[in-house]
Amino acid sequence: MSVANKPVEKSRPAEKRKRVSKAPEIRREELLQTAAQLFKEKGIAATGIGDITDRAEVARGTFYLYFASKDEVVGALWERYVNGHLQLMEERLSHTGVRAGDGLALMLELVTRLTEHSLEHAELHRLVYDTADAEAIAICRRANELIIVRLAEAMRTHLTAPNLSRDEPHLTASFILHGVHGALHDAIMHGGPVDRASFIDRVRRFAANALAGPS
């Protein structure tokens, strides 16, 4: 058969991406997780919406079903991070059965959990704080105030030993939360690795001293 008579192979059409239907909450969660990973790899400024949709393997229009902009994604991640602290508080305080005299142990456990949550999400903390706007700061303040209120309530309920200060629980809770948060922020934003065990040990000693009254 001559070259001229050789049948011409038809080129295959480009394979279309198979569309997978998922529940809205699952799709939104996948977009958030994908964005968080890209922000970690490239930084928030260098990551575009197209990068997020390509990595998540969804159409650009799908992104806009859940978020109006990249800034809204950043805000959603930030709100989740901040509200995660409050969720940890509620989960622990919803379990009853704290024995008399165990109030200090409970308070130190709460402070430890809050600290661990921040350290586990240190990269997100660093990324988002670099671009935090007025709305993000307002979200943080609201969540912090709720945490302070819950800490103060726990102090009134569970700190019964005579050497523990209960006269100004809201002020004490505010002192502990903002003191720990400030130290955490400095450690995380410094950029280097944080010695978790050592840091948590110092946080617990600081909180114990703040909760203890005159000896």
Q: What integer pLDDT is reported at residue 111 of this predicted model? A: 92
Structure confidence by residue, pLDDT tens digits, 74-118: 888 888 887 888 888 888 888 756 555 577 888 899 999 999 988
Q: What is the DSSP letter of 164?
A: B
Nearest Cα to 64, choosing from 55, 73, 76? 73
Task: Judge if 90 and 149 occupy the same domain.
Answer: yes
Q: What integer pLDDT is reported at residue 67 of this predicted model? A: 94
- CA dist 26 and 109 (Å) reads 32
Residue ending a domain, among 41, 68, 95, is 68
Could you tell me if 128 and 74 are in contact, meaning their C-beta atoms sit under 8 angstroms apart? yes
Q: What integer pLDDT is reported at residue 215 of this predicted model? A: 52
Q: What integer pLDDT is reported at residue 188 of this predicted model? A: 84
- CA dist 156 and 170 (Å) reads 10
Task: Judge if 42 and 57 occupy the same domain.
Answer: yes
SS3 144: helix
Structure tokens at 34: 């994908």
Q: What integer pLDDT is reported at residue 192 of this predicted model? A: 74
Task: Judge if 59 and 161 occupy the same domain.
Answer: no
Give every residue of the chain whose pLDDT is below 70, as ranges.
1-20, 96-101, 131-132, 160-167, 191, 213-215
Task: Judge if 202 and 104 occupy the same domain.
Answer: yes
Domain count, the chain: 2
Q: What integer pLDDT is reported at residue 90 of this predicted model? A: 86
The answer for 101, left when phi > 0, alpha when psi is -120 to 50, beta otherwise, is left
Could you tell me if 73 and 166 are in contact, meaning their C-beta atoms sit under 8 angstroms apart? no
- CA dist 196 and 140 (Å) reads 23
Q: What CATH number does the domain containing 201 carry?
A: 1.10.357.10
101 lies in which domain range?
Answer: 69-211
**Single pTM value for the model:** 0.71
Q: What integer pLDDT is reported at residue 169 of this predicted model? A: 87
**205, part of any domain:** yes
Task: Judge if 76 and 130 occupy the same domain.
Answer: yes
Q: What integer pLDDT is reported at residue 163 of this predicted model? A: 46
